[in-house]
Amino acid sequence: MRASIALSFAAIAVAAGSGALVHESPAYAADAAKIAIGSKAPMFSTTGAKAGKAYTLNLASELKKGPVVLYFFPKAFTSGCTAEAHEFATRMDEFKKAGATVIGLSADGIEELKKFSTEACQSKFAVAQATPQMIQAYGVGLSGRPNMTGRTSMVIAPNGRVTFVHNDMDYRDHVKLTLGAVQSMAKANKG
């Protein structure tokens, strides 16, 4: 299965004007994300949680701080989603060093996400509600379950352009690949 994932990489290129590493891979047991590399990310406001506290999360405000890693995950407290959140939390200092903010998104309710933000995310980054409108706008619905997200990670540059997309239900490469994308973006912007 890992070999098929490696073969699924469709494109690696440098994003026009941003110098960011761009990578796109097709779906693995999920609908392919409909957001194209180079397109403007749909802006949104939703209810988020960090360290167990709910607040209004606004993508446009987050982008003013630098690049944003949005990662959609199917369900809080399932084994893959918990492992993925834990790995993002473990590597959060590296994301911050590259100037990136990480936001996890799922269709779970806010009470579940408040708990997930403290336990799996170790209070190191925000998780937020992916509304049906957001799931549709980003094209991250799970096949046969339109109100649940698949597993898709993307990097959005401060100008709102999507520079990286990885769409794969296997959680294991999402953190490594998104971190590589934001580190490449930071390196290109320094050069």
Cα torsion through 175, 176, 182, 188, rounded to 10:
180
Contacts of 20 (CB under 8 A, 6+ apart): 14, 155, 157, 163, 164, 181, 184, 185, 188
Question: What percent of the chain clears pLDDT 90, i.e. is strictly above it?
Answer: 75
Largest Cα–Cα distance in the chain? 45
Range with the poorest average pLDDT among 23-27, 66-70, 77-81, 82-86? 23-27
Q: What is the pLDDT of residues 137-167, one digit of tens each?
A: 999 998 888 788 999 999 999 999 999 999 9
- List 22, 30, 81, 113, catalytic entry: 81
5-19 mean pLDDT: 30
* Residue 121 a catalytic site member: no
* Comparison of pLDDT for 25 and 33, the residue scoring more: 33
Going through the chain in order, the beta strands assigned E by DSSP cover 11-14, 21-25, 45-50, 53-58, 68-72, 101-106, 126-129, 141-142, 145-149, 152-156, 162-167
Angle at 172 between CA 170 and CA 178, to 5 degrees: 105
* Comparison of pLDDT for 7 and 130, the residue scoring more: 130
Residue 99 CA to residue 137 CA, distance in Å, equals 26
Torsion-angle region of 34 (φ positive above 0: left; ψ -120 to 50: alpha; else: beta)? alpha
Which two structure tokens, joined as six digits, stand for 84? 């993925």
Q: What is the pLDDT of residues 113-145, one digit of tens each?
A: 999 999 999 999 999 999 999 999 999 998 888
User: Residue type for 107, please?
Assistant: A
Give the chain's domains with CATH numbers: 2-190 (3.40.30.10)
The residue behind tokens 């930071």 is 186
Average pLDDT, the chain: 85
